[in-house]
Structure 1
């Protein structure tokens, strides 16, 4: 059985910083990550990828605004890969930085999935199926989150996507329905709208971003409408289905 003062589950922003701070306090530290890369969803599926796409979306938006002599539009067959062309380099840079930081602070890196056996013991299942016990005085649970998949929305990661798989689509779609009005929904709605995609947002609440100041929400909704975005609030989604040919059909309760 391996023993440490502190074991951190998850290598995202919270887990990484917790592990480093503990190591700097002269604690023996291990960090557990189920992915073969460090950084968690933030680096590989969330913040970094979406911001990389956002930068290119802003460039496209500026070119469209400044195209006084001709109409500038993104081609219908634009591959998503061309819009996040620097993503692999950015992600690799982050991974290299974090690996160096973990090694420099003599933090033990463990690859696998962790399960609690008791208050001071973890069972670590490695990718090859083997298990080992890890003992510690203190555990930091920083395992992050995953997209929610309601029962009436059959996410297939091909035509019906979640926020983790949306950037894996092959081509920029002509239209996009975004279900939800939170931060991630609003971000992707804005990004794809700036790229010239016809975007509709549907949510059960009256307004998006309900936890934010009203003047900021008004600004967002005004800009979204000016760019031909459509907001459908106070609406429950009954079903979502791929029609087997060319479109995803969203049926609402009303």
Structure 2
């Protein structure tokens, strides 16, 4: 390595490794800098991927215990090998990180392990345990991601008061858990542990779960999670959390303003994440993070320093792996002189509970606030033959449509495989396909996506045709 590069990417999460690969594809000499010993960032190591592995494992366990008899499957007395439960997740993570090493080699991307710190706008110091390296770059892309955040009165000790990271590798199945926060991370991890028999309580400050999504989705998710015997306390304000040694106690005000407390094996703090730029020495290049820790960029993801870009969780917008990937590609293509574009309103949001939740476009609340006229088409999975066949009848598809031109303004799904079904609607919305056209195309029968067709038909003023 001569340590002189066209593009240096700092951080190897989804945004980082995708931007590095795209840069290599376009012919640039590329380096990627990673603080930790494995590639992949939060998503691959302690976020999206391991969480989905545990979600799938816990759903299999839940189905075996709750649904197999209805299918005529009798398996006798069940037990959970928690060590294997965690071990399988670890193997999934290992397979993905190994895959990233292969991709770096395949695309001739140099990997530098250590903490990246700016010296000036063209030089980055990489400090590892045994050496220090200076990299020279024409362009830099900051993709350092985010870390879990907390709230006043709650000190995360990673022992009894934990974050999502620790929750993915607990030493034994907890008997009880209090989760502070009913957003995406909170409800997903609540699902994991409730399915395997942990007594779970969610304490949420807002008056709805997944409060940033369409409110009907939050209400429906409340009902489905309640079926898992999860206690959900909305409009409740956590005041403090204490480590008792073998347990943790959470003190809070309930929706009536009364002081209460709950003691459980663990308190999981899932109140969101904060941009992570620690150690980058941004002051050396004249960049000052905003109050929320994020780096200000323009429409091309360029910072105030022309040759330095920032993407993903360290810039404004939802903290989503696929959003970071799109931004990584955009930043590199801008550097290359292309004119890429991202429609941020059509980046889908997904919650991997079961049923899954997925959405793209505007919510009803947003349209009402903007005074935009719309019509609603809604179809329940209870009326879907495919959903009945798989015993997945909870949920619905809701589409919001402009009555003037038939433009699809928003799609909101809670139901089986919603995370996959939403992709079709994103295509339609991105290319401005009307509700009539979305309803006219053929959908395979029987499939979960047929619920979309019927919702589109209803929004177009026609009746549903499928069962």
Same fold (TM over 0.5): yes
2 CA distance for matches of 1:213 and 1:198? 28
Within a 5 Å distance, the mapping from 1:229-244 to structure 2 comes to 229-244=230-245
Q: More deviation in 85-94 or 206-215?
A: 85-94
Pick the aligned partner of 2:114 from 109, 112, 115: 112
State the match for 1:247 in structure 2. 247
For residues 148-179 of structure 1, the C-alpha deviation after alignment (integer angstroms, 9 at most, x for no partner) is: 13452232222221111112211111111100
Identify unmatched segments of 5+ residues in structure 2. Answer: 254-258, 260-467
CA contact (8 A) 2:20 2:30 kept: yes
SS at 1:85 equivalent = helix
3-state SS of the aligned residue for 1:149?
A: coil
Runs of 4+ residues over 4 Å off in structure 1: 67-75
Q: Deviations over 1:87-136 (max 9, x none)?
A: 232222212221111111111110000111222221211122x3232221
Partner of 1:158: 159
Deviations 1:41-75 (A, max 9, x none): 11111111111111111111111213659998876
In the alignment, the residues of structure 2 paired with residue 169 and residue 151 of structure 1 have an alpha-carbon distance, to the nearest angstrom, of 25
* Structure 1: tracts of 5 or more residues without a match: none
Query: Quick one: higher RCO (CA 8 Å, sep 6+), 1 or 2?
Result: 1
The alignment of Structure 1 onto Structure 2 pairs a total of residues equal to 250
Q: Which residue of 2 aligns with 1:214?
A: 215
**How much has 1:24 moved relative to structure 2?**
0.9
* 1:74–1:196 contact (8 Å) kept in structure 2: no
**Alpha-carbon distance in structure 2 between the residues aligned to 1:218 and 1:119:** 49
Measure how far apart 1:137 and its partner are. 1.5
The alpha carbon displacement at 1:84 in A equals 2.5
- Structure 2 Cα separation of the partners of residues 54 and 211 of structure 1: 22
Query: 3-state DSSP class of the match of 1:241?
Result: strand
Residue 84 (structure 2) pairs with residue 82 (structure 1): yes
Question: Counterpart of 1:53?
Answer: 54
Provide the C-alpha distance between the structure 1 equivalents of 2:210 and 2:37, rounded to a whole number of angstroms: 34
| Alignment map for 1:13-32 (pairs within 5 Å) | 13-32=14-33
Say which SS state the counterpart of residue 164 (structure 1) adopts: helix
Relative to the length of structure 2, the TM-score reads 0.51
TM-score, reference length from structure 1: 0.90
Asked if the contact 1:204–1:233 (Cα under 8 Å) also holds between the matched residues in 2, the reply is yes
Q: CA separation of 1:105/1:92 partners in 2, compared to 1, >3 Å: closer, same or farther?
A: same
Cα RMSD after superposing both structures? 2.2
Distance in 2 (CA, whole Å) between partners of 1:73 and 1:227 is: 20
Greater Rg, structure 1 or structure 2? 2
